[in-house]
Structure 1
Amino acid sequence: MKPRIAAFIPAHNEEKSIRDCLAGLGDQSLPSGVELDVFVIADNCTDRTKDVAELAGMEFGLNVEVIVTKNNKQRKVGALNSAWKGIYGDILDLYHTELTEYQMMYQQSVKAILGMDADSRLAPGALAYLWDGLMSGRNIGGVMAKYTMRMPKKKSLLSKDDTHYEEKIASGEYGGPLARWWTHQQKQDMASWLLDLQYHGGSTYVLGGQATLFRPEALQDIVDENKLDGPWQNESDVEDMLLTWQLQKSGWKTLISPHARCFVDAMRNYHSYREQRNKWKSGTVNLLTSKDLKVKTRHTGRLWRSQAKMFIDLIVRVLFVTLLALSLATDQYTWNWIWLTPVVLASLLNMILALKTPMHRPIDVILATLLISPEIYLWVNLITFIQVWLEKLSANKKDGWASQYAAESGKTRSKLTQGVLLFILFVTASTFACIHFRDTLTSPTTQAAIKPYLMSGWIVLTYLTILESLIMLYQIWTLRGQHKA
């Protein structure tokens, strides 16, 4: 039996995207003598995912088998493990069943397992690159493709007289200016992460579920060492990160491919983006602080430094706004040109990142250089950071998967509008109060009382700003290389 790659594609109500995913697999040039089997797991579906997958398999000449799950309580984890058990057996089965000779031969013929999301699409040649990376070393447990968010087409290109107008808008193929802006910010964020990993040798602390090629022996090690019925676990909202850490703990290398690319869908609005990032960041924090899982990674220090940087970003901005407001209100503000240094460094850093982001637009580079887009995007992430740690400290655990799915399907709405209105109301009321009580606020007595606090605050802010400036200088230095995002 020829060596083969087995692709596992969990799909919950993905009738609109599964055809495109399989089309990408149909575009692949397989390594010589290697065959591809595709297992689409139609997980608790209430739509035509199964039928569409079978028709697409025939259309693109793929060997597709659809596994239908019902009453699966573990969502993506359960779907992936059902495909795994189909090949390697279910050790929780009450009745022991001997594998047939054919099943044993098939099991031995699987040399790699491709984990993919149903809304992802591999670029032509990506699978061959992933295969070469996985086979380049005996100790490589998984190789991940480089992800790039797909930019939705301009909504203005669609005629409202088009009989399929609403259907095309609902498909996500088209989007307005805000949807395209959100997509680019996520694309640039991903590019920054990929460039940083490549600069530090290509090892990654998370093999993303969108497109990763695994070595079956490595996954089997996870099953055996942790006494599991399948490699993927439901103990974390970031099951792919947990799996990666366990691979590294077992001595396997986890890498990103410098050449393989996978196109993935982005979150198109504020609410769905926040719920997705809340799930990711909450899962990361839980892994970093969990005493039950007892698994760490060689990247633990980097992840904690990332958390510390977010905290410093938050403190710097809150402190700056507070000190500036107090200084202006009490007429004690003095401008110093030295404060332009971090602004210039941030502008340069974001301009380079925008230019290195695949398929960037001129408007994206301009907004990045002016720090408009990066600052808005950072504040959104800071809000998520605050929420995640408040939930962690309060032990208020919520279902991240359910929240993200509800946001993407439009079942929940964000409170962004209310938040913006409250912020405007607060700023307006504060400004009015400062004007109304200006004589009191600018009196020598008030100034003398406030000045020591202002001086201490500006000193702390200065040291934090110097630290952030050094970090930005280091990031600019790392971007000088020829690595591509």
Structure 2
Amino acid sequence: MRPRIVAFIPAHNEEKAIYDCLTGLKEQVLPSGVELDVFVVADNCTDRTEEVAKETGEELGLSIEIIVTENNKQRKVGALNAVWKAIYGDNMDIYEMERTDYQIAYQRSVKGILGMDADSRLAPRALQHLWDGMMSSRNIGGVMAKYTMRMPKKKSLLSKDDPYYEEKLASGEYGGAMSRWWTHQQKQDMASWLLSLQYRGGSTYVLGGQATLFRPEALYEVMQSNKLDGPWQNDTDVEDMLLTWQLQKNGWKTLISPNARCFVDAMRSYHTFRNQRVKWSSGTVNLLTDRDLMLKTRHTGYLWRSQLKTMMDLLVRVLFVLLLGAAIATDQFLWSWVWLIPIALASVLNTILALKTPMHRPIDIILAFLLISPELYLWVNLMTFAQVWAEKLSNDKKDGWANQYQAEAGKTRSKLLQGVLALLLFISIAVFACYYFRDYLTSEAVQQATNPYLMAGWIGLTGLTIFMSFIMIYQIWTLRGRHRA
């Protein structure tokens, strides 16, 4: 039997996306002498995912197998393990069914396992690049493609007389200005992350589930060493990160391909984005702090430094707002041109990142230079950071997958508007109070009482800002390299 790559595609209600995913696989140039088989898992579906996948496979001439799951409580993890068991057998099978000669031969012929999401699409020759990366060294357990978010088409291009108007909007094929803005911000964020990993040697602490080629031997070793019934575990909201750490623990390298690209869907609203990021961030924090797993990665220090940097970003902004408000209210505010230095550095850094982001638009460069987009996007991430750690410290465990599914399905609503209105009301009350009591607040007695605290606060803020400025200078320096996001 010829060697083959087997694609694992878990699909939960993906009838609108699965055609594009399978078309991308059909367009791949396969390594010489290697065949491709596709396994689509119609996981707890209530739509026509199974039928569409089968019809598409027949239309494109793909070697495709459809696996249907019902009452799968482990969601994506359960779907992926279902395909694994179909090929390698079920360790939990008490009957110990004897495998046929064909099943044994097929199992031995699998040289690569491609894990993909049903709403992602590989760029041409991406599979060849992933294969070349995995086969470049015996100790490489998995190679991930570079992810780029697909920009929705302008909603203005869609005629309102189109009978499929609402359906096309709901599918994400078209979007308004805000959905396109959210998409670019996530694309630039992903580009920044990919560049940072490449500048550090190309090793990654997470082999993303959107498109990663695994070495079957490495997955089997993880399953056996951890006494699992499949390589993927449901103990965390970031099953792909947990698997990556387990691969590294067993001595396998996990890398990013410098050439393979995969196009993925972005979260196109504040609500869906927040729920996705809370799931990712919460899962990361839980892995970092879970002593029962006893897992470490060469990237543990990097991840903790990232958490510390985010905390410092939050602290700098909160301190600045509080000190600025108190200084203006007590008439002790003094402008310093030195403050423009970190602003200029942030502008240069974000402009470079915007230019290095694939398929960027002129408006994206302008907004990055003016720091409008980066600052708004950062504040959303800072709120996510604060929420995740607040839940962690309070032991308030939530189902990240369920929250994300409900947000994407429109079953939950964002409280952004209420939050903005509450903030504006608070600011209005504070401004009115400062104006009403201005004589008292600007009196010499109040100024003398508050001045030592303001001075101490400004000194501390200056120290933090200088430290953060050096970090930005280092990031700008590393971006001089020729790596592509």
TM-score (norm: length of structure 1): 1.00
Equivalent residue of 2:145, what SS? strand
Matched residue, 1:241: 241
Alignment of 1:45-444 (within 5 A): 45-444=45-444
- Structure 2 distance, partners of 1:447, 1:271, is 43
Residue by residue, what CA displacement relative to the aligned partner does 1:72-91 show, whole Å, maximum 9, x if unpaired? 10000000000000010001
Give 3-state SS (helix, strand or coil) of 2:86's partner. helix
| Whole-angstrom distance in 1 between the partners of 2:31 and 2:331 | 71
Distance 1:130 1:155 in 2: 35
Question: How far does residue 294 in structure 1 lie from its aligned partner after superposition?
Answer: 1.2
SS at match of 1:50: helix
Output the CA distance in 2 between the equivalents of 1:60 and 1:381: 41
Amino acid at match of 2:164: H
Per-residue deviation, residues 16-53 of structure 1 (Å, max 9, x unmatched): 10000000001100011000000000001111000000
**DSSP-derived class of the 1:5 partner:** strand
Q: What CA distance in whole angstroms lies between the structure 1 residues aligned with 2:371 and 2:167?
A: 36
> Aligned to 2:333, what secondary structure does the other structure show?
coil
| Letter paired with 1:27 | E
Give per-residue Cα distances to partners, 1:314-335, cap 9 Å, x unaligned.
Answer: 0000000000011111110111
Counterpart-to-counterpart distance in 1, 2:429 and 2:64? 63
SS at match of 1:146: strand
> What is the one-letter code of the residue matched to 1:104?
I
Measure how far apart 1:292 and its partner are. Answer: 1.2
Alpha-carbon RMSD across the aligned residues, in angstroms, is 0.4
The 2-side partners of 1:189 and 1:167 are apart by 29
**In the alignment, residue 17 of structure 2 is paired with which amino acid?**
S
Q: CA deviation at 1:337?
A: 0.7
Q: CA deviation at 1:163?
A: 1.4
Partner of 1:472: 472
- The Cα shift of 1:162 comes to 1.1
Q: Determine helix, strand or coil for the equivalent of 1:262.
A: strand
Supply the AA of the counterpart residue of 1:146.
Answer: K
Query: In structure 2, how many angstroms separate the alpha carbons of the residues matched to 1:354 and 1:243?
Result: 31
Distance in 2 (alpha carbons) for counterparts of 1:134 and 1:330: 63
Write the deviation string for residues 341-361 of structure 1: whole angstroms up to 9, x where unpaired.
Answer: 000000000000000000000
Q: 1:277 Cα shift?
A: 0.1
> 1:402-450, CA deviations, whole angstroms, 9 ceiling, x for partnerless residues?
0000000000001000000000001111111111111000000000000
Tell me what 1:32 maps to: 32
**Structure 1, gaps ≥5 residues long:** none
The alpha carbon displacement at 1:179 in A equals: 0.1
* Structure 2 counterpart SS, 1:25: helix
Q: Give the C-alpha shift of residue 59 in structure 1.
A: 1.6
Q: Which secondary structure does the structure 2 equivalent of 1:51 belong to?
A: helix
Q: Which amino acid in 1 is paired with 2:172? A: G
Aligned counterparts of 2:435 and 2:302: Cα–Cα separation in 1: 46
Instruction: Tell me the CA shift for residue 306 of structure 1.
Output: 0.3
Aligned equivalents of 1:31 and 1:204: distance in 2? Answer: 24
CA distance in 2, matches of 1:216, 1:162: 47
Question: What is the identity, as a one-letter code, of the residue corresponding to 2:435?
Answer: I
Aligned residue pairs total 485
**Equivalent residue of 1:469, what SS?**
helix
C-alpha displacement at 1:176, in angstroms? 0.2
Q: Normalising by the residue count of structure 2, what TM-score does the alignment of the two structures yield?
A: 1.00
CA drift at 1:58 = 1.3
What is the SS of the residue equivalent to 1:208?
coil
Read off the aligned partner of 1:205 and give its amino acid letter.
Y
Give aligned-pair identity as a percent: 74
CA distance in 2, matches of 1:168, 1:381: 29
Instruction: Please report how far the alpha carbon of residue 2 of structure 1 lies from its aligned counterpart in structure 2 after TM superposition.
Output: 0.3
**Secondary structure in 2 matching 1:9:** strand
Runs of 4+ in 1 over 3 A off after TM superposition: none
**1:293, CA displacement in angstroms?**
1.1
Q: Which amino acid aligns with 2:285?
A: V
**Deviations for 1:116-174, whole angstroms, at most 9, x for unmatched residues?**
00000000000000000000000000000000000000001111111111111111100
Q: Specify the SS of the correspondent of 1:331.
A: coil
1:20 and 2:17 are equivalent in the alignment: no
Deviations 1:353-380 (A, max 9, x none): 0000000000001001100000000000
What SS does structure 1 have at the residue aligned with 2:354?
helix
**In structure 2, C-alpha distance between the alignment counterparts of 1:269 and 1:81, rounded to whole Å:** 31
Aligned to 1:461: 461
Report how far residue 99 of structure 1 moved: 0.9
3-state SS of 2:93 partner: coil
Secondary structure (helix, strand or coil) at the match of 2:212 reads: strand
Amino acid at match of 1:447: Q
